[in-house]
Amino acid sequence: MAMSERPILIKKVKKGGDHGHHGGAWKVAYADFVTAMMAFFLLMWLINTTDPEQKRGIAEYFAPASVAPTTSGSGGILGGTSLGDDGVKSDGSSAIVNQLSPEAAEQATDQAGRSSDLSAASEAELREEIARREAADFASAAASLRQAMQDMPELAELSRQLIIDQTPEGLRIQLVDQEGRSMFEQNSARPNERARVLLRAISRVINQLPNRITISGHTSAVGTRASAPGDWALSAGRADAARQILEGAGVDADRVYQVSGKAGSDPLYPDDPTLAGNRRIAIVLLREAPVLPADTSL
């Protein structure tokens, strides 16, 4: 057969479909995505379940702001502690030598002295501050009593028979007699109406402060004698009668520290012990010593 008579063969190559094999790269990417999402949600859960102190410790662990002179591994809330200062990787015997050296003893003594000085200074400052506040409270109480004397007609005419001042003992309020205007009946421990009105007004001032009070009764001298035999019992009875009126007006009985009769031994006017003004009732709101903690320094 001639060459021109050979049959013509046509070879057709059929390409594959769209579902061929693309490899496993997408699986790796998906696994990374799932891992990242798991880590993200775990981080969110940890943030919501930790308190601010733990968060601060975590931040210091990964990014310490300073190096603390401690025996912990890293400092902060996540830092561990060593079993002791001495050991294979510590100062060892040198630490003991340093502790026993004279220089270390002198430093310890100096530190103890400085702490003692600071403690004494702080105690003195505390006492001064309490004294200032107490003086301010006394001044406010005295001002309120004087204002009440001016505002109330029944007290205005008695203002001259009331003396208010501050003494080393505390705020002193005195009810004094005047010529023809006594606070008590003649030779009696029974207070008259003027004394009752004044004592009730004083009780309102006393109730404004927590201080304890003392009440003392005084009489005037008779002739050349500072005190008659019955003046001691009379002055004590008048002081106790004043106490009963104050307690009846609302003053707590536990606040009464002392009730005493001094007769004519402590005159208000020493130059003339026979004056009517020496007959009086003195009520003192005591200055209270501050309650300080016990000294625990060695």
Q: How confident is the model at residue 88 (pLDDT cuts 50, 70, 90)?
A: very low
Contact between residue 96 and residue 72 where contact means Cβ atoms under 8 Å apart: no
Q: How confident is the model at residue 93 (pLDDT cuts 50, 70, 90)?
A: very low
**Average confidence (pLDDT) over 148-171:** 80
Domain of residue 210: give its range: 141-286
141 vs 90, which has greater pLDDT? 141
Report if residue 195 sits inside a domain. yes
296 vs 207, which has greater pLDDT? 207
Report if residue 21 sits inside a domain. no
Cβ neighbours, 10 Å, residue 113: 10
Q: Kindly give the interhelix angle for 193-206 and 231-248, rounded to the nearest 10 degrees.
A: 60
Report if residue 111 sits inside a domain. no
Predicted local distance difference test score (pLDDT) of residue 218: 93
**Contact partners, residue 135, CB within 8 Å, separation at least 6:** 166
Predicted local distance difference test score (pLDDT) of residue 234: 93
Asked whether the predicted pLDDT for residue 4 surpasses 80, the reply is: no
Contact between residue 226 and residue 264 where contact means Cβ atoms under 8 Å apart: yes
β-bridge partners, 170: 167, 286
Alpha carbon distance 55, 71 (integer Å): 22
- Residues 94-105: b if buried by 16+ CB within 10 A, e if exposed: eeeeeeeeeeee
The mean pLDDT of the chain is: 77
Q: What is the CATH number of the domain that holds 246?
A: 3.30.1330.60
β-bridge partners, 260: 216
Q: How confident is the model at residue 294 (pLDDT cuts 50, 70, 90)?
A: very low
**Average confidence (pLDDT) over 202-212:** 89
Report if residue 198 sits inside a domain. yes
- The total domain count for the chain is 1
Segment 111-129, tens digit of pLDDT: 666 655 556 667 777 778 7
Q: Find tokens 């594959």 and name the residue.
A: 16
